[in-house]
Structure 1
Amino acid sequence: MPLSNDEKILLNRLQIKVRRSALQNRLLDAYYEGEQRVEQLGLAIPPELRRFLTIVAWPGTYVDALAERVTLEGFELPDETETDEDLWRIWQANGLDRESKLAHLEALKFGRAFVVVGAGDGDTPDAPSAEGGDDDRPRDAATPLITVESSNEMAVELSPRTRQPIAAAKFYTDESVAHATLYLPDATIWLERRNATWVEVDRDEHDLGVVPVVPLTNRAQLSRRDGRSAMTRIISLTDAAARALTNAQVATEALAVPQRYVVGAQPDDFKDKDGNVLTAWEAYFGAVWALKNPDAKIGSLSAADLTNFSGIVNHYAALVSGVTGLPMRYLGQATTNPPSAEGILADESRLIKQVEDFHTAAEATWERAQEIAVRIRDGVWDPRMKQLETKWRSAATPTRAQASDSAVKLVQADILPVEAAWEDMGYSPARRAKLKALRDAERAADPVLEIARALPTQQARAVDAVAG
């Protein structure tokens, strides 16, 4: 069936949002990669000096420092004490160990990414293999398909009342053919661009009642639900540092060595061996060893002190550190002594808190995606999924000795069981299950432990006998 007028208007509105995001993302990506150009700095440099342009990649350093600490480790249902194996199977079947990292990085860079949930398809290739290529094994049709999408290709429209998506669309090009997918609460529509018009190719009336697209946003605000890039607040400081470094490069070429001056020279003194007049820059940077005028004088000036540029760049680095919470060592500022474990933790406290805040936003996305996935798989909404909990790896810099010492003390004080200590130390669910099996087997084979376990029962019987 053809698109209705309302669907056409909605599709065009979402396409405009995608184009606007792609334009903004192009600039943000340049800052992330350290490839922003001088025109974006507003710095007037002659074309001859463009080679001296120096860019600092502090925005990329900041985003990477956050993204490296965001790792999802499992999901727990309210009536379980371990991560749910079935939900984790869905996660791993879709290659989300890797794909989720890409989504988190995208959200931190551009402010938003998207998670799309669909039905499994036996003809669809499985998750990417560990070697990096596509896995040729067919996907289990009972396993829902979960993919992550970029804001360069996808946009959503939120309900002003529930803040949940009421529509979403993805736009992409395949073999020079423009495609679009329109996601609605009760249908998914696939389209192609033909003769400057979107033509419906297929439609799936799934009757989910919800749009199977979940936004993943960074730093969402009441007035800006689509989030913002983590780099936004340090772009101007990055530009200022780039100006200082560019000026330092020019000053290094022109003033780092003693400058020469010439008095009483003739025009012929500034010609090459073939009689060609040297350009101003060739004459400026070249050396003049002999002059025809016997009264001419050649002298030199002392080299300029360039330490002021270092002070300016260090000042901007300190400002970036204050805005982002990045330790100064992340910005290339060496410290006198290597920090201790406690010093690292204190130094990174703001960074850790930012990652934990991002966890709060991201877990709402992944929990909602898993809820929709279970609904697609089972055909009914599971009320337990409303209380699903997401397990994250600690955002603090791992110090093995410190974590081990803490775990031993908590277990010895009977505050935590051994299994909980394993979880705090970052062991995966599979690793914890293997350790539990090994420990149980070891205890079963140790007669001393068997006697120790039997002692409380024997003592209780003796007390009962005396009392009787």
Structure 2
Amino acid sequence: MRFDRIDRYLRGDHDGPYLPRTATEEYKLLAKRAISNWLPLVVKTTAQTMAVEGFRRTDTAPDTAPAEWQAWQANRLDGRQAAIHRSALTYGQCFVTVLEDPALPGQARIRAVSPRRMIAFYDDPEADALPMWALRVDAVPASSDQAAHGWFYDASGVTELSIGGKEGTKALSFTAHNLGVCPVVRFAPEIDLEGRVLGVIEPVITLQDRLNQGVFDQLVVQTFGAFKVRTISGLAPELVRDPETGEPVLDNATGKPRVVPIQADASRFLVAPDPDTRFGQLDETPMTGYLEAVEAGVRSLAAVSQIPGHHLLATLLANMSAEGLKAAEAGMFRAIEEFKKTFGESWETVLGLCAQIAGAAPDPAAQVVWRDAESRSLSQTVDALGKAAQMLNVPPRALWRLIPGVSATDVEEWAQTAAEDDPATRLADSLSKAAA
């Protein structure tokens, strides 16, 4: 299957480099060692720049955390969101289910599901935010006699299923969710008008195979041709002789006299008694071309995946100015901005379902706040925000959320502290206490 192949390559189980049919065990060992898995780095480099750190509703004050964000914190999504983003980037899609927690009424339970375990059917696969129905299967049984455990999601509820086996498919239980829609949200970084999804791994699998072949060729040359070879011609071999009789010792397998092996290494000086003996040398194979071929493969991988070359090759970072570094990363951040738009819509749908479960009305204009991951210093950001407050009369509190690394929880805490330190507030508290 398509997703199984992507998963296999992500874990380093690649198709091996080309080998002739007569390859020896030494060549097969080198082929195993030639697997250089760059694909996890392609996923991590993109995923590590994407993190939701806040949520804003149009009907809630900027320094107040809405109910949706409380559900976010309760489900520990500050940390769990990374796995969802990585899965969506890897396979081209990932699913998230949103249901009421049976143990905590009014509290949403958000769970991520791998696309290898779930399928969803859409009326319009490109435009619909939610599917008509979705089917989740834990694992495919090893035997046809065994049943698989699954769940069927639709607009009315969740049906627990026993799929296949001797008794066939049957419903085990049904739980209504009262949401009116199928509570399964898809995260897809790239989707076309026909509903086809594409991740960051599948387009570069061919380049990964090319890299493995280049590394294999390099290892072969490094192992068998990277050293000078000494040659000797016209030298009669010295025979192994019996110490008692002085007669040559015959080899049991061939019946021929055994030859004393020539001890040739860097610490020995070769001499021969025969004046017709000639010593020669075969030069080593230059490694430069093979190293450059591997580097060219990495550059191609960086270009196709829109990952800056210096993230994959440290040698490209030498003597790079700040302007050059920003220009080199521009392509990656353009791709990340596109991913943030699609993932942001998915997170807003997830949090809208959380609001519905909490008894609040979803805000169609609400937005998630992404962490700023671009290469800029804190002093530059604060200076720009200060000028915005002074020259454009932007309220300082509205700028708190734009400071890198500041979450919605931090903004809410700052607002509470500012209210406590406000002189008018302190005076009002003092008067109320005196009146009491």
TM-score w.r.t. length of structure 2: 0.79
In structure 2, how many angstroms separate the alpha carbons of the residues matched to 1:107 and 1:299?
60
Which residue of structure 2 lines up, in the alignment, with residue 354 of structure 1?
335
Q: Cα deviation per residue 1:389-436 (whole Å; 9 max; x = unaligned)?
A: 111112413532322232233233244332233211131122223333
Corresponding position: 1:168 with 2:153: no
State how far apart, in whole Å, the 2-side matches of 1:89 and 1:367 are: 14
User: In structure 1, what is the equivalent of residue 244 of structure 2?
Assistant: none
SS at match of 1:148: strand
What aligned pairs does 1:67-466 form with structure 2 within 5 A after superposition?
A: 67-82=47-62, 84-122=65-103, 140-160=104-124, 163=128, 164-173=130-139, 178-193=148-163, 194-195=165-166, 197-206=168-177, 208-223=179-194, 225-263=195-233, 298-335=279-316, 337=318, 339-378=320-359, 382=361, 384-426=362-404, 427-442=406-421, 444=423
Gap change, CA 1:248 and 1:173, over 3 Å in 2: closer
User: Which protein has greater RCO, CA pairs closer than 8 Å, 6+ apart?
Assistant: 2
Q: Name the structure where helix makes up a greater proportion of residues.
A: 1
- Asked if structure 2 preserves the Cα contact closer than 8 Å seen for 1:74 and 1:391, the reply is yes
Work out the CA distance in 1 between the residues paired with 2:169 and 2:199.
32
Q: CA contact under 8 A between 1:355 and 1:395: conserved in structure 2?
A: no
The percentage of aligned residue pairs carrying the same residue is: 22
| Structure 1: gaps (5+ residues) | 1-22, 123-139, 279-285, 451-468
**SS at 1:211 equivalent:** coil
- 1:177, distance to aligned residue in structure 2 (A): 6.3
- Which consecutive unaligned segments of at least 5 residues does structure 2 have? 241-248, 255-261, 428-436
Q: Is the 8 A contact 2:147 2:166 kept in 1?
A: no
- Structure 1 residue 250 displacement after superposition: 0.8
Cα offset for 1:104? Answer: 0.5
What is the CA–CA distance in structure 2 between the aligned matches of 1:444 and 1:274, rounded to whole Å? 108
RMSD: 3.5
Q: Which has the larger radius of gyration?
A: 2
Aligned to 2:259: none
* Alpha-carbon shift at residue 248 of structure 1 (Å): 0.5
Is the CA contact (8 Å cut-off) linking 1:266 and 1:293 kept in structure 2?
no
Question: Residue 269 and residue 30 in structure 1: after superposition, are their counterparts in 2 closer, same or farther (change >3 A)?
Answer: farther
Residue 288 of structure 1, CA deviation: 5.7
Does the CA contact (< 8 Å) of 1:216 and 1:362 recur in 2?
A: yes
Where does residue 463 of structure 1 map in the other structure? none
Give the C-alpha shift of residue 189 in structure 1: 0.7
**Contact kept in structure 2, 1:265 and 1:291, CA below 8 Å:** no
Which of these residues, 24, 29, 46, is aligned with residue 7 of structure 2? 29
- AA in 2 matched with 1:191: L
Cα drift, residue 216 of structure 1 = 0.9
Distance between the aligned counterparts of 1:64 and 1:86, measured in 2? 31
Change (3 A) 1:374 1:301: same
